Amino acid sequence: MTMGAYDFLEDRLASAMVITKAGHCPPDLARVAGVRLLLSAHPQPDERSLEAGRELESLVRGESRGTQILFLISGGASSLVEVLREGVNLTDLQRVNAWALASGRSIEEVNAIRCCLSRVKGGGLGAWAKGRRSLALMISDVAGDDPSVIGSGMLHGRGVRSGLPDGLPGWLISLLERVGPGRDQRDSSEPIVFRIVGSSQLACQGAGHRARDRGLRVRYGAGPFSGDAAMLGRHFARDAVGAEPGTVLVWGGESTVALPVRPGRGGRNQHLALSAAMELAGRTGVWLLAAGTDGVDGMSEDAGAVVDGTTIDRGTLAGFDAGASLAAANSGTFLEASGDLLHTGPTLTNVGDLVLALNLGFSR
C-alpha cells in the first residue's frame, strides 16, 4: 500500500511511517527515503506492538493542523498497534488475545473487548487526528467492509462498550470492571473519509475471473462465510461434490475454531481443510483449497492446505488419525504428513480467507 502511494504521489509525500509484521515488508520499501519502518507482532501482540502505538500517537498528535494525513489500514492492525488504557498491561493484553484466538468468538465480539482495553482502537486514532484533513484507504478482512471493525476501528468508533458479549470468563469480567468504561470515542472524533481498496469480495471475483479464463464454470458462495471451521469444511466439501463437473466454487470469509487447552499445530484454514478431506475421502476428481490471503494461517507459517479424496489415506498411512487430529486442533501435523500443506510466504495483503473447490467429475 505504501509503495502504491509513493508511486502515485511521488514528491507530494513528505514522510511515512509503516507498521507491519516482521518478515512482511518488501525489500524495496525498506530502501525508500523518508519511510520509517516499524516491525511489529501478529497475531499475538508484544512489546513491539506497544512501541508502535507510542510512535504512532506521537507522530499523529505532533502533526500541525495544516497537515494532510493519508492512513493506509489493513486487516491485522489490531495486533500490530496498541496503546493500552491505564490499568492494563502487556500481560493482560496477551492473556485477552490468547483467549480470543482460542475462543471461537466472532471478530465483532473480540473487537468489543479489545476496544475497552485500548486508547487507539474504537476511534482513538481518529480522535488524535481531529482537526487535520485525513483520508483512509483500507484493505478489508471483515464481512461488510465496516471501517469500525477493520483493525478494531482505529479511525471509526461506534460505542462498542455497550456491545460486550455474554458468557465471558470471570477473570476477563474483572479486568473490564477494573478498567472501567472509558470515554465514548464517537464524541471526540470527526468522521474520516475512507475508501475500501481491497476486500474478500474483490479477491473472490479475481479468483472467478481466472477460473473462467481457463474455461471453467464459476459458482460463488452466498456472501462471506463465518462460523465453525469444521462444520464449514464439511459443508463446502458436500457442495463441491454436488457441483456440475468443470465448476470452481469460490467462498470468502473467516471461520472460527474453539481450541482445546493444549492445541497442536495448525490454523483455522487447515482445520477447515482437514474436515473437508474427511468428507471427500475416497472420492476422485474433487479438490479443495483453504488459505489465509496473507499467507499465514493461525500461529503457523503455512497459508492453509489443498486436499482431495486421497488426503486421509495418505495421512493415515503416515501413522496419524484424522478425527483425533481435528479434535486436538492438530490439523497441521496431519496435513504435513499427507503432503497437503500450502506454503506461499508473505503475500503482502490481507483480505481474510479464501476457499476454492474444483470439481472435474468424480467416482466413488
Which homologous superfamily does the CATH classification assign to the domain defined by 200-359? Answer: MOFRL domain (3.40.1480.10)
List residues bridging with 292 in a β-sheet: 353
Please provide the distance, in angstroms rounded to a whole number, between the alpha carbons at the two ends of the chain: 47
**pLDDT at residue 65, rounded to an integer:** 85
Model confidence over 3-41: pLDDT tens digits? Answer: 999 999 988 888 899 999 988 888 888 788 888 999 999
The low-confidence residues of the chain, meaning pLDDT below 70, are 158-163, 181-190, 362-364
CA dihedral 25, 29, 33, 34 (to 10 degrees): -60
Task: Decide: 333 and 263 in contact? Cβ < 8 Å.
Answer: no
CATH classification code of 2-198: 3.40.50.10180
CB proximity list for 255: less than 8 A, separation 6 or greater:
225, 226, 227, 228, 229, 232, 268, 269, 271, 272, 353
Q: What b/e readout covers 195-204, taking b as 16+ CB neighbours within 10 angstroms?
A: ebebbbbbbb
**pLDDT at residue 362, rounded to an integer:** 64
User: What secondary structure letter does DSSP report for 87?
Assistant: T
**pLDDT at residue 216, rounded to an integer:** 97
Give rounded-to-5 percent helix, strand, coil for the chain.
Answer: 40, 20, 40
> Residue 165's closest CA among 121, 104, 124, 88?
104
**pLDDT at residue 158, rounded to an integer:** 63
CB proximity list for 154: less than 8 A, separation 6 or greater:
73, 77, 81, 120, 121, 122, 123, 124, 125, 126
Task: Retrieve residue 50's grid coordinates.
Answer: 506497544
Instruction: Look at phi and psi of residue 241 and say left if phi exceeds 0, alpha if psi is from -120 to 50, else beta.
Output: alpha
What type of residue sits at position 174? S
Model confidence over 93-106: pLDDT tens digits? Answer: 999 999 998 888 88
**pLDDT at residue 161, rounded to an integer:** 45
Q: Kindly report whether the global pTM for this prediction surpasses the value 0.85.
A: yes
Nearest-angstrom CA–CA distance, 125 and 94: 21
Residue ranges covered by each domain of the chain? 2-198, 200-359
